[in-house]
Structure 1
Amino acid sequence: MSAEAVVTTEQFEYLKQENALLREQVEFLMRRLYGTKRESLTDGQVDLFDQTKTFVAPTVPEPEEQDDKPAKRKKQKGRKAAQLAPFPEVAVHHELTGAERQCPHCAAEMREIGATATSREPVRVPEHVEVHVHYQHAYECRQCSNQLDHSVIKKAIVPKPFIPNSFASPSILTQTMIEKYRKKVPAYRQIKDWGDLGLELTRQQITNWHIRACDYGLGNLYELMHQTLLKQTVVHADETSYRVLESEKVNTYFWVFASGRAEDEQIILYEHADSRATEVPKNFLNGYTHYLQTDGYQVYDKLDQVTRVACLSHIRRKFFEAMGKQGNTQSGAKKGVTYCDRMFKMERPWRLLTPDQRYQKRQSQLKSTMSDFFTWCESVHALPQSKFGRAIDYALSQREAMENVLLDGRLELSNNRVERAVKELVIGRKNWLFSTSFKGARSSGIILSVMRSAEANGLDCRKYLEYLFTELPNLSVPGDSKALQDYLPWSSQVRAICAR
Structure 2
Amino acid sequence: MEMVPENLTKQELLQLVYSCNEAISTHEKKEEKYLKELTHYKQENEYLRQQVAMLKRMQFGQKRERFEAESNQMALPFEAPVEEVEKQEKVVEQKIAYTRKAATHIGRAKLPEHLPVEEIEIHPAGDLTDMVCIGKEITEELECVPARFFIKRYIRFKYAPNNGEGVIIGTLPERVIDKGIPGASLLATIITDKYMDHLPLYRQKQRFARENIQIAASTMDSWTKETLLKLEPLYDQLVFDTKSKGYLQVDETPIKVMDSEKKGATHQGYYWVYHAPLEGTVLFDYSPTRGSSAPLPILQNFKGYLQTDGYAVYEKYARSNAITHVACWAHARREFERALDNDKSRAGQALNWIQQLYAIERTIKENSLDHAQAKLLRLEKALPVINMLGKWITLQIKMVLPKSQIGKALAYAYGRWDALSAYLYDGHLQIDNNLVENAIRPVALGRKNYLFAGSHEAAQRAAMIYSFFAICKKHDVNPYQWLKYTLENIMTIKQKDLKSLYPQNYKASIAI
Give the structure-1-normalised TM-score: 0.68
User: Which among 388, 403, 407 is matched to residue 389 of structure 1?
Assistant: 407
Task: Name the counterpart of 1:238.
Answer: 251
Equivalent positions of 1:413-428 (< 5 A) are 413-428=431-446
* CA–CA separation in structure 2 for the residues paired with 1:247 and 1:160: 35
* CA–CA separation in structure 1 for the residues paired with 2:233 and 2:284: 14
User: Which among 290, 300, 314 is matched to residue 331 of structure 2?
Assistant: 314
Q: Check if 1:171 corresponds to 2:171.
A: no
Task: Name the counterpart of 2:503.
Answer: 489
- Partner of 1:364, secondary structure, is helix
Task: Name the counterpart of 2:468.
Answer: 450
Task: Name the counterpart of 2:152.
Answer: 132
* CA–CA separation in structure 2 for the residues paired with 1:308 and 1:496: 41
CA contact (8 A) 1:258 1:269 kept: yes
* CA–CA separation in structure 2 for the residues paired with 1:306 and 1:137: 62
Q: Check if 1:354 corresponds to 2:365.
A: no
Q: Check if 1:257 corresponds to 2:269.
A: no
Distance of aligned partners of 1:165 and 1:246 in 2 relative to their CA distance in 1, 3 Å threshold: farther
* CA–CA separation in structure 2 for the residues paired with 1:336 and 1:295: 19
Distance of aligned partners of 1:439 and 1:250 in 2 relative to their CA distance in 1, 3 Å threshold: closer
* CA–CA separation in structure 1 for the residues paired with 2:503 and 2:147: 28
Task: Name the counterpart of 1:4.
Answer: none
Distance of aligned partners of 1:126 and 1:464 in 2 relative to their CA distance in 1, 3 Å threshold: closer
Equivalent positions of 1:279-358 (< 5 A) are 279-303=293-317, 304=320, 305-324=322-341, 331-351=345-365, 352-358=368-374
Distance of aligned partners of 1:411 and 1:498 in 2 relative to their CA distance in 1, 3 Å threshold: farther
Deviation of 1:386 after TM superposition, in Å, equals 0.9
Q: Check if 1:222 corresponds to 2:222.
A: no
- Partner of 1:180, secondary structure, is helix
User: Which among 432, 451, 466 is matched to residue 433 of structure 1?
Assistant: 451
* CA–CA separation in structure 2 for the residues paired with 1:189 and 1:341: 45
- Partner of 2:301, secondary structure, is coil
Deviation of 1:279 after TM superposition, in Å, equals 1.5
Deviation of 1:178 after TM superposition, in Å, equals 1.5
**More deviation in 220-229 or 164-173?**
164-173
Structure 1 stretches lacking a partner, 5+ long: 1-124
* CA–CA separation in structure 2 for the residues paired with 1:472 and 1:367: 49
* CA–CA separation in structure 2 for the residues paired with 1:287 and 1:355: 26
* CA–CA separation in structure 1 for the residues paired with 2:202 and 2:298: 33
* CA–CA separation in structure 2 for the residues paired with 1:126 and 1:162: 19
Deviation of 1:496 after TM superposition, in Å, equals 5.4
User: Which among 404, 423, 433 is matched to residue 422 of structure 2?
Assistant: 404
Task: Name the counterpart of 2:202.
Answer: 188
Deviation of 1:495 after TM superposition, in Å, equals 5.9
Tell me the matched-pair count: 357
User: Which among 483, 486, 495 is matched to residue 465 of structure 1?
Assistant: 483
Task: Name the counterpart of 1:92.
Answer: none
* CA–CA separation in structure 1 for the residues paired with 2:352 and 2:402: 22
* CA–CA separation in structure 2 for the residues paired with 1:338 and 1:167: 61
* CA–CA separation in structure 2 for the residues paired with 1:140 and 1:353: 68
Task: Name the counterpart of 2:113.
Answer: none
CA contact (8 A) 1:355 1:409 kept: yes
Deviation of 1:208 after TM superposition, in Å, equals 2.2
User: Which among 280, 290, 302 is matched to residue 266 of structure 1?
Assistant: 280
Question: How far does the alpha carbon of each residue in 1:384-438 deviate from its partner, in whole angstroms, 9 at most, with x for none?
Answer: 1111110000011121111110101000111000001111111111111101211
* CA–CA separation in structure 2 for the residues paired with 1:129 and 1:214: 22
- Partner of 2:482, secondary structure, is helix
CA contact (8 A) 1:242 1:252 kept: yes
Distance of aligned partners of 1:373 and 1:247 in 2 relative to their CA distance in 1, 3 Å threshold: farther
CA contact (8 A) 1:459 1:498 kept: no
User: Which among 385, 390, 404 is matched to residue 374 of structure 1?
Assistant: 390
Percent identity of equivalent pairs:
25
Q: Check if 1:157 corresponds to 2:171.
A: yes
Higher strand fraction (1 or 2): 2
Give the structure-2-normalised TM-score: 0.66
CA contact (8 A) 1:487 1:494 kept: no
* CA–CA separation in structure 2 for the residues paired with 1:436 and 1:256: 20
CA contact (8 A) 2:486 2:501 kept: yes
* CA–CA separation in structure 1 for the residues paired with 2:295 and 2:376: 32
Deviation of 1:203 after TM superposition, in Å, equals 2.9
CA contact (8 A) 1:163 1:212 kept: yes
Question: How far does the alpha carbon of each residue in 1:20-43 deviate from its partner, in whole angstroms, 9 at most, with x for none?
Answer: xxxxxxxxxxxxxxxxxxxxxxxx
* CA–CA separation in structure 1 for the residues paired with 2:146 and 2:196: 20
CA contact (8 A) 2:482 2:508 kept: no
Distance of aligned partners of 1:126 and 1:454 in 2 relative to their CA distance in 1, 3 Å threshold: closer
Distance of aligned partners of 1:393 and 1:252 in 2 relative to their CA distance in 1, 3 Å threshold: same
Question: How far does the alpha carbon of each residue in 1:441-500 deviate from its partner, in whole angstroms, 9 at most, with x for none?
Answer: 11111111122223323422111111111122345xxxx643423322333x6465259x
Question: How far does the alpha carbon of each residue in 1:42-66 deviate from its partner, in whole angstroms, 9 at most, with x for none?
Answer: xxxxxxxxxxxxxxxxxxxxxxxxx
Distance of aligned partners of 1:184 and 1:354 in 2 relative to their CA distance in 1, 3 Å threshold: same
Question: How far does the alpha carbon of each residue in 1:59-88 deviate from its partner, in whole angstroms, 9 at most, with x for none?
Answer: xxxxxxxxxxxxxxxxxxxxxxxxxxxxxx
Question: How far does the alpha carbon of each residue in 1:159-185 deviate from its partner, in whole angstroms, 9 at most, with x for none?
Answer: 122112333211111111111112111
Structure 2 stretches lacking a partner, 5+ long: 1-144
Query: Quick one: which amino acid aligns to residue 210 of structure 1?
Result: T
Question: How far does the alpha carbon of each residue in 1:74-125 deviate from its partner, in whole angstroms, 9 at most, with x for none?
Answer: xxxxxxxxxxxxxxxxxxxxxxxxxxxxxxxxxxxxxxxxxxxxxxxxxxx9
* CA–CA separation in structure 1 for the residues paired with 2:154 and 2:312: 57
Deviation of 1:126 after TM superposition, in Å, equals 8.2
Task: Name the counterpart of 1:115.
Answer: none
* CA–CA separation in structure 2 for the residues paired with 1:179 and 1:283: 30
Distance of aligned partners of 1:347 and 1:126 in 2 relative to their CA distance in 1, 3 Å threshold: closer
Deviation of 1:199 after TM superposition, in Å, equals 1.7
